[in-house]
Structure 1
Amino acid sequence: MERYEIIKDIGSGNFGVAKLVSDKRTRELFAVKFIERGQKIDEHVQREIMNHRSLKHPNIVRFKEVLLTPTHLAIVMEYAAGGELFGRICNAGRFSEDEARFFFQQLISGVSYCHSMRICHRDLKLENTLLDGSTAPRVKICDFGYSKSSVLHSQPKSTVGTPAYIAPEVLSRKEYDGKLSDVWSCGVTLYVMLVGAYPFEDPDDPRNFRKTIGRILSVHYSIPDYVRVSIECRHLLSRVFVANPDKVMCFLLMIAWLTQTLFILGTLKNQLIGVWFTSNIH
């Protein structure tokens, strides 16, 4: 860590602490995730490092390097100065459909790329969706601690992720398609951006985990009357929030809804179609 100057703490969690650092030579800012070393943790983090370092996409936090200290692993990565998308929604309450589409198309672009690389994230959520500091913020997907590669690892069957975002099949304790669970989590993210609340939490008892799980398993959700959401977007959510989603159909619906606005680059539609089918024909 000699080449970096620590500036401040920027986050903490079960993994340890994240710090903002500056390269002493170039003055470029980076985020560093410090993880206390130990056999069990090192085995868990090894998968995160292997998967994350293989991904190079504008909507994924750039992996730089791993350093070892006597007590910690230090994962150096791109610094997203705009913070979490979660914070932006908390400040706004909820987004207009156009604003939600602007962020969602970037999320889908990054997730589709992961899937084309045979990697499923398995913990997609607003807190793991960062923003750069630009005027028109660029989404940056982070935290690949629960990710799995279909090339390196077996089909997932463990119940991982964040309860509000978790797909029904993940709760079955049987093997499931991690790509499909990612699609479900993307749907939850879109819903929260549009409504400002989680789709499967009981509005009268949001902290009741058992009720949330029950509503996920029964796919019980609704869009409040006071929220203006287009028919196309409602149709998209209805095809994502099913127990066994048709991954091709729901993605084509995403493309139709996403390309209704000039926020989308002209070539994105063809890029997404190519990436999606490439990642799902095997």
Structure 2
Amino acid sequence: MSDITFIENASATYEVIEQNGPPAMHLPFEKAKVGRAVRVDAPVLNPITNEVLTVSNIIYEHHDDGRPPERAYWVGRKLKKCIFGVVKECTVLKFRNDFDTPWEVTEEKAAGKIMSWQKIRDLQHIEDPQKEVAAMQFVSREFHPNVMGVLDVLQDEEYLLMFMPFCNSGDLFGFVQQAGRFPEPMARFWFKQILEGLAHLQKMGVCHRDMSLENILIDEYTKSLVIDLGMCLRVPYSNHNGAVGDVTGGGLRRLIPPLIPCGKPNYISPEILTSEGPFDGFAIDIWACGVILFIMLVGLPPWEFARPEDPRYKMVAKGKLAKMLNSWQKPISPEAADLLQRMLMENPRDRLSLMEIRDHPWVMEGAEQSELPRDNEGWRG
């Protein structure tokens, strides 16, 4: 997407999108490119000590044309379970082109998602990780520091293996749990990075559909990355001739017909919960980012579900977010309350666009801030 097209779409109101043409189904991602995995035990050189150690569970891609592998992954400790298998910490190895000692340890780490083909077959009616792989390869066409990319995707008879950059500091949800809630400068620091990740997805024509604190990983305590593209959609756009195409057509995006609700309950927008009409993929991600910011600033979610039966939701829907927070004895600045209120508008026609959020006074405050702020209160505001 060109910068001009991106700005037009990131600024477009719901009404403009609605008038752009009838709703259109989301587009399929291109089929994932998957290499053939080889798993070996092999000697590995430590270049610092010059020691050679034979290690097990080294995985690399086999090239049928005889090319040497670019790198390998020495699979190590388990990081967490996932629905189809496990995520493990891996050490990236460099190929040495030496028959006796073919691999060399590097300082680079990777996260290896090791998924069982049997579990994929059993559960693909619920979720298909091959779609996540295809989506991650799609957004990785253009590197962005705030969106998780993919290094290699490999397979053998038993497993589908996806290797990603390693983040060593947990997720943003854990940070909020530790802090209770964030001081506003700290919340702004993380929120601006989330907006940059969201901007990259919008530029690629992708709707995430599962934005949450749990899906923001932190690396080195200073950088955040949007992860988990398993539920994302490739947004339809109008080409200049009016036909439906992808983001490269240079036109505005289209609404998408209603789908089965997905995502974490706290973060799902009201129009997705009701599924009564078409939705704007960008607007539902804006809503979820509003909930993310709310939790960072307040320390707890605004509601269980964005439904009128919830009195908290009803107050926000009536424009009384600031009053509600004052009653909870968790006040925030008027500028922050205004931003949250305008991101969490019940009607997506009234919700802020990405460009309006970027230009909001609360986001613009401390525009030169590039480092994580520290204060005498520590984590708590």
With the shorter chain as reference, the TM-score category is 0.7 to 0.9
Per-residue CA distance 1:37-69 (angstroms, 9 max, x = gap):
244639822321222122221101121111103
Deviation at 1:263, TM superposition (A): 4.7
Deviation at 1:229, TM superposition (A): 1.4
Task: Percent identity, please.
Answer: 31
Rate the CA distance shift 1:250–1:22 in 2: closer, same or farther, 3 A.
Answer: closer
Unaligned runs of 5+ in 1: 202-208, 266-282
- Find out whether 1:140 has 2:220 as its counterpart: no
Task: Find 1:163's aligned residue among 256, 262, 265.
Answer: 265
- Find out whether 1:62 has 2:149 as its counterpart: yes
Unaligned runs of 5+ in 2: 1-58, 61-71, 95-105, 237-244, 247-254, 371-381
> Is the 1:184–1:240 contact (alpha carbons within 8 Å) kept by the matching residues of 2?
yes
> Is the 2:283–2:353 contact (alpha carbons within 8 Å) kept by the matching residues of 1?
no
Deviation at 1:5, TM superposition (A): 1.3
Aligned to 1:53: 137
> Is the 2:78–2:87 contact (alpha carbons within 8 Å) kept by the matching residues of 1?
yes
Q: Which has the higher helix share?
A: 1
Distance 1:179 1:249 in 2: 8
Deviation at 1:177, TM superposition (A): 1.5
SS at match of 2:80: strand
Say which is worse superposed, 14-23 or 83-92, in terms of deviation: 14-23
SS at match of 1:21: strand
SS at match of 1:28: strand
> Is the 2:75–2:112 contact (alpha carbons within 8 Å) kept by the matching residues of 1?
no
Normalised to the residue count of structure 2, the TM-score between the two structures is: 0.61
Rate the CA distance shift 1:5–1:108 in 2: closer, same or farther, 3 A.
Answer: same
Aligned to 1:113: 200
- Find out whether 1:240 has 2:343 as its counterpart: yes
Within-5 A mapping of 1:1-282? 1-2=59-60, 3-25=72-94, 26-37=106-117, 38-39=120-121, 41=124, 44-55=128-139, 56-134=143-221, 137-151=222-236, 155=256, 157-173=259-275, 174-201=277-304, 214-215=309-310, 218=314, 219=316, 222-225=324-327, 226-245=329-348, 246-248=350-352, 251-256=355-360, 257-264=362-369
Deviation at 1:80, TM superposition (A): 0.9
Instruction: Work out the number of aligned pairs and report it.
Output: 255
Normalised to the residue count of structure 1, the TM-score between the two structures is: 0.81
Rate the CA distance shift 1:236–1:138 in 2: closer, same or farther, 3 A.
Answer: same
Rate the CA distance shift 1:241–1:160 in 2: closer, same or farther, 3 A.
Answer: same
SS at match of 1:191: helix
Deviation at 1:16, TM superposition (A): 2.5
Per-residue CA distance 1:174-230 (angstroms, 9 max, x = gap):
4322211100110000010011100114xxxxxxx7x97833874566324533411
> Is the 1:236–1:254 contact (alpha carbons within 8 Å) kept by the matching residues of 2?
no
Matched AA of 2:272: V
Matched AA of 1:148: L
Distance 2:81 2:136 in 1: 19
Matched AA of 1:41: Q
Per-residue CA distance 1:129-172 (angstroms, 9 max, x = gap):
011115xx111110000001014899362211000111001112
Distance 1:4 1:213 in 2: 50
Distance 1:247 1:50 in 2: 30
